[in-house]
Chains A and B, each alone.
Chain A
Amino acid sequence: MTGSSSRSVALVTGAAQGLGYATALRLAADGFAVAVNDISDDGRLAALASKIGGLAVPGDIAEQFSGVDVLVANAAAMDMGSFLTQDPRTWWRQVEVNLSGHFRLIQAVVPHMRAAGGGRIVLIASGWGVIGHPNATAYAASKAGLIALAKGLGRELAPQGILANAIAPSYIDTEQLGVDAADAGITLDEMRQRYRELIPTGQLATVEDIAAAVAFLAGPGGSAFVGQVLQPGGGVTRARA
């Protein structure tokens, strides 16, 4: 982490909406200087940066960005479909966004973290990366790869003071549910109720719940976590190997 005379810098990807947006708000509230990134550049990012006194860095930043103490790799894409019939390009695009994209960004931020003597990397995976899901093989594979990446990075970088971990949420109440509802031809409330029935606690996670998990791993309380996979999913992934 950088010295106490300046705030630590966090970079959150996929921050224009949902989980990334809430995470940026939470880290800013916890005292980080936050840079927010998203592939989309429609004004939401600038508005968020303005709201939290942060910095908007839209577009593909992997090659350009360093000087970060905490990386929250959250950007993701999902395109469900049957394994045998899905267009291979659609399949591999999810791996490119969810896994390879984060890989390049990690390579960009690690040198600064090394020079600074430490840092935190939080990879946003998914419960489906832990237990799989039908018609989501690309998503599950990419998220499982992200989990393994967190473990490997954890082992490799902890000796340099860089702590890498993953969070694997299950169902979260975000704008994405509206998309799911439209796909299913039902109302948003009906969609929420369908997902609640899949969760042992009957509660969808809020984006603030996941942002809190990020804040914990990024903050002083997370200092002994290496290569771990936090699963705030209301019990969805409890029964796993």
Chain B
Amino acid sequence: MSVGAEQVVVITGAASGIGAATAALFGRQGWRTAGLDLRPSATDLSLSCDVTDAAAVRSAIDAVARQFGGIDAAVTAAGYYEEGIDVCDITRTQWDSMLQVILGGTVNTCAAVLPHMLARQSGTVIAISSELALGGSATDLHYVAAKGAVLGLVKSLAAELAATPIRLNVVAPGPTDTPLLAPDSLWRKPDYLATLPLGRLVRPDEIAATVYYLATEGVMYCGEVLSPNAGAVI
């Protein structure tokens, strides 16, 4: 990865939560930031984009590359969360939607961004998975399966591109204090937090810092999973 002025990062899901924190950190470090989200993001280039639409993602990514002259890093943070649904009650629609956004969004972003990176023989992709995909969970099976699929996808892409300068890795956050966790979420309950070695939720800036480390000093990670998770999965 080149270390020069004005490197470019594109972030899906940049409008809130982990995506927003990541955009903010990279921006503070002098990167040009581009955000793909359904809603506007606080980035240098905010593009309205549905990550489940492959053509729309391709178009948005091409626009970022044109605007900034290339893409050095891509972070796939687009996603949403549903909890409290028994395995037998997950509808086909709920299952498909979760897969389309979380796995499909990652696939579409990789498909759009990798040709640019390969053409420049430089670049890194960091996908946001979840510690739930490492250790399993309950009442959110479709979310866990989708986040797990991202692990397999990125590890395989990393294997496929290992001989190139492109690096692909995963950050698997622990339960993180973002709007994805509703005020009454079970992950916010004191009884649950007491089970974590750190005894607290992870902060979005801690995830952003991990992404930034991988993007700037992580050349030796190839298909790896870094999990800042407060000790939820060890």
Contact = CB atoms under 8 A, between A and B. Distances in A.
Interface majority SS (helix, strand, loop, mixed), chain A = loop
Nearest to B208: A221
B109 interface: no
Interface in B199-222: 199, 202-203, 206-207, 209-210, 212-213, 217-222
Nearest to A226: B231
Interface majority SS (helix, strand, loop, mixed), chain B = loop
Contacts of B163: 200-202
Interface in B152-166: 155, 158-159, 162-163
Interface string B164-190: 000100000010000000000000000
Nearest to B221: A232
Interface stretch (A17-25, A105-113, A233-241): A233-241
A159 B220 contact: no
Given A155-B231, A238-B158, A224 B174 contact: yes
Contacts of A235: 158-159, 162, 222-223
B217 A212 contact: yes
A230 interface: yes
Contact of A201 (B203, B209, B212, B222): B222
B199 A205 contact: no
Contacts of B228: 222-225, 228
Given A155-B197, A202-B163, A221-B206, A228 B224 contact: no
Interface in B37-67: none
B224 A224 contact: no
A159 to B, nearest CB: 6
A221 to B, nearest CB: 3
A224 B220 CA distance: 21
Given A159-B197, A227-B197, A235-B162, A221 B227 contact: no
B219 A203 contact: yes
A238 B226 contact: no
Interface in A184-241: 200-203, 205, 209, 212-213, 216, 220-228, 230-235, 238
A151 interface: yes
A159 B221 contact: no
A203 to B, nearest CB: 7
Contacts of B217: 209, 212-213, 216
A224 B155 contact: no
Given A155-B234, A226-B234, 4 more contacts: A201-B163, A221-B213, A226-B231, A230-B226
Top-7 shortest CB links A-B: A158-B197, A221-B209, A235-B222, A226-B231, A232-B220, A224-B228, A227-B234
12 contacts: A158-B197, A158-B230, A200-B222, A201-B163, A213-B217, A222-B228, A225-B227, A227-B197, A231-B224, A232-B224, A235-B162, A238-B155
